[in-house]
Structure formats: C-alpha cells, structure tokens
Amino acid sequence: MAEQDNGAAKTDQQAPQVKMNVLTQFVRDLSFENILSQRGTGGDVQPDVQVKVNLDAKKRSTEHQYEVVTKLAVASKNKESDEPLFLLELEYVGVFHVEGVAQEQLHPFLLIECPRMVFPFVRRIVSDVTRDGGFPPLNLENIDYVQLYRNEIARRQAESEQSDKLDA
C-alpha cells in the first residue's frame, strides 16, 4: 500500500499545478445608441436582438500575465419593420495570471476559461445599460465559449485552405 501511495505522490508532483487568478477587469470601451428614442415611435415594438461575440488574447509584458478582451456587438431591430431600435458595443477586458498550462493548451485556455470567468460581469453591464437606456434589461444567455473557439478554428482553417487554392 505504501508503495502505491508514493507512486501517486510522484505523479502528482510531476503534473504542473494550474494557477489562474483574475488580476483586474474593466470596461475598455462602451457605446450605447438608443435609435428608437432619437427617431421617435408610437405603439408596441417587437424587438429582434442579434449578439455577436469576438475574443482576443495577448501576453502582457509581465511574466504569466495575459489580457483577454471580450467584444460584444448587440443590435436590436423591430421584427415588424426591420428598423433598428438600439446598438450596444462593449469591450470588456480581464487581466489574468496563468501558470502551469502547457503551451499547446494556452491559446484555448485563454479564449475559453478566461472569458467564462468574467462573463457574469459582462452580462450585468449589458443588462444595466439596456435598462438604463430605456429598454427592458437584456439578460444574455450563457455563451458556449468552447463552440465559439471551435467555430473560429474551423473558420481559420477554411480561410487558409481557400488562400492555398488561390495561390496554386
């Protein structure tokens, strides 16, 4: 029994321990345009909301620190007339200290786990801004960052294959 425990202890020591801390988070850019109130309207409005999400990550000058940016573009249109109601753009930044992640896993870690950590704050900002802008609060559904990452990888591969065909 003691030999098995020692073997397990050695295995645990060899595997690096992943450490992730959110050092800071902030709104880099926020824009809200209430087109409905500028134009004026009468009657009931049936909104159709489109949300686009982009992610970006880069290493900072300090070792093990990374900046991850979540960019949201939210557009709401009237379902009946297709006229815009409001536009919201948000860049939300999280600065993370990440250690113990293998280099080949760092890119997906930064673009999946880090945005997932700050998403509740992004959701709250979008809800508050839309409510304060004169609309019902927009409560974003959870974002599937894994699928978003897979879609981006697939898009880049297709783009690369297309450019290879054009070069040939």
pLDDT per residue, tens digit, the chain (168 aa), is 444 555 555 544 566 788 999 999 999 999 999 987 776 655 566 788 999 999 999 999 999 999 999 999 999 998 888 889 999 999 999 999 999 999 999 999 999 999 999 999 999 999 999 999 989 999 999 999 999 999 989 988 888 888 777 766
Domain regions of the chain by residue span = 18-167
Strand-by-strand arrangement of the 65-78 sheet: 19-34, 84-99, 65-78, 47-59
51-54 LR contacts (CB < 8 Å, sep 24+): 51/140, 53/143, 53/148
Hey, what CATH topology would domain 18-167 get? Answer: Bacterial Protein-export protein SecB (3.10.420)
Contact predicate 128/165, CB 8 Å? no
- pLDDT score for 160: 84
Model confidence, pTM: 0.81
